[in-house]
Amino acid sequence: MLVSFIATALLAQVSVAFPHPHDNKPRPWGFFTNNTIYQTTGSESITYPRYTELQDGTIIATSSLSGHSPNYFPVFESKDGGANWKYISNLTDQVNGWGFSAQPALTELTKPLGGFPAGTILGSGNSWSNNGTRIDLYASTDRARSWKFVSHIAEGGRPNTTNGADPIWEPYLLQYEGQLVAYYSDQRDPKHGQKLAHQTSRDLRHWGPVVNDVAYDLYEARPGMTVIDYIKPIKKWILVHELPIGNSSSYGVNYPVYYVMADSPLDFRKSEGRPIVINGVAPNASPYVVWSPVGGPLGTIVVSDADKRSVFTNRAGGDPDKWEEHATPAGAVYSRAIQIFKKRPDHLMIYGGETFDGRALGLHTPFSATVVDLKKVLKADATEW
């Protein structure tokens, strides 16, 4: 992995399609590469970046930060499109005594819910110890300056990815039709090594039954890491996930990225999963998906994976034969998040951090933000960087 990392860094110095990482100080609402949000030190490592864009354009971002006991999620704010960042708080475990070990999630309430006003920021994550895994919900009514525990969403066994163990993982939050939907990966069902499921709440304190989103008949299939978005022109929701099956390889990788589409974000279980395949090879692991109206009548679906600097795009409403790969100047990151600015849909933000294997190398890759012009990205080939 170290050789690959060095080679990738060298390739980044010869590109002409995107701004050089060190050309200028990032300009507000501009395009720039690898702007540091937080520089790790000591035994710290940044992975799994997550964000929410508030209605006024402010970005609240966090990540999984390892190296502390107990661990927590540091929270940062940008009011100018990622050019400048300010640390504002820590999202900490207030009830379990286990810390927030990994897998943060953020969203903003755009309408009042459960006694909380519009503008409330909700945060979640996986709190775990040898006693179990808990996905908990927190709320902030002061723009992420402070956090209050609201409820336990779901609970599973201790962290263990072996089939037959019963933990839960990887929350994702969505406000939809007067309720909060909490998606997560679930190993508790004896019929499945792992499945994707959700629960809903109309008061943020009481949660409904577990509803399957993606559950394959093959027990060894382990769909994981739900992320979803809405594709406005076709009135469809898209859910992306990774799909490891034991130790086997599919489409050239061990964790191929699949997607399902549905009319409602509550009904993915009615859809069939399809792989993203380009030239016979799939993106690999921890995908993230966003949609932009830029790119044509149907806009552009943009997907990121854990291994590539590039992104994977579809301008045909999710047609399985119309996926493309396009270069970006951003680095690969374990569970890399990507963002389309609500009022600037040509701005694609790519969050930086460490790769899964790179954490052990002590590289201290910072939590960072890269913003690229999506129109230019769509013109770049897969090898330009």
Mean pLDDT, to the nearest integer, of 33-43?
96
For residue 1, pLDDT beyond 70: no
Q: Which of 130, 207, 147, 216 is nearest to 171 (CA)?
A: 207
For residue 40, pLDDT beyond 80: yes
Confidence of residue 247 (pLDDT cuts 50, 70, 90): confident
Could you tell me which CATH class the domain 33-377 is placed in? mainly beta
Confidence of residue 384 (pLDDT cuts 50, 70, 90): low
Q: For all residues of the chain together, what is the average pLDDT?
A: 93
For residue 22, pLDDT beyond 90: no
The whole-angstrom separation of Cα 106 and Cα 137 is 10
Longest dimension (CA), the chain: 54
Other CB atoms within 10 A of residue 272 CB: 8
Residue 24 carries which DSSP code?
Answer: S
Confidence of residue 112 (pLDDT cuts 50, 70, 90): very high
- The predicted pLDDT at position 381 comes to 86
For residue 17, pLDDT beyond 60: no
How large a percentage of the chain has pLDDT more than 70?
Answer: 93
Helix (H, G, I), strand (E, B) or coil at 318: coil
- The predicted pLDDT at position 102 comes to 97
- The predicted pLDDT at position 13 comes to 31
- The predicted pLDDT at position 362 comes to 79
**Tell me: the pLDDT tens digits for 305-345?**
999 999 999 999 999 999 999 999 999 999 999 999 999 99
Q: Which of 10-14, 240-244, 292-296, 374-378 has the lowest mean pLDDT?
A: 10-14
For residue 3, pLDDT beyond 80: no
User: Is 213 exposed, middle or buried (CB count within 10 Å of its CB: 0-12, 13-18, 19+)?
Assistant: buried
Q: Give yes or no for a contact between 357 and 291, defined as CB atoms under 8 angstroms apart.
A: no
For residue 10, pLDDT beyond 70: no
Q: How far is CA 92 from CA 65, 89, 97, 123, 367, in A?
A: 12, 9, 10, 10, 19
Mean pLDDT, to the nearest integer, of 360-374?
93
Residue 142 carries which DSSP code?
Answer: S
- The predicted pLDDT at position 77 comes to 98
Confidence of residue 385 (pLDDT cuts 50, 70, 90): low
- The predicted pLDDT at position 261 comes to 98
**Tell me: the pLDDT tens digits for 115-162?**
999 999 999 999 999 999 999 999 999 999 999 999 999 999 999 999
How large a percentage of the chain has pLDDT more than 90?
Answer: 89
For residue 86, pLDDT beyond 90: yes
Residue 357 carries which DSSP code?
Answer: T
- The predicted pLDDT at position 383 comes to 73
Q: Is the peptide bond before 283 cis (omega within 30 degrees of 0)?
A: no
**Tell me: the pLDDT tens digits for 151-187?**
999 999 999 999 999 999 999 999 999 999 999 999 9
- The predicted pLDDT at position 24 comes to 66
**Tell me: the pLDDT tens digits for 184-216?**
999 999 999 999 999 999 999 999 999 999 999
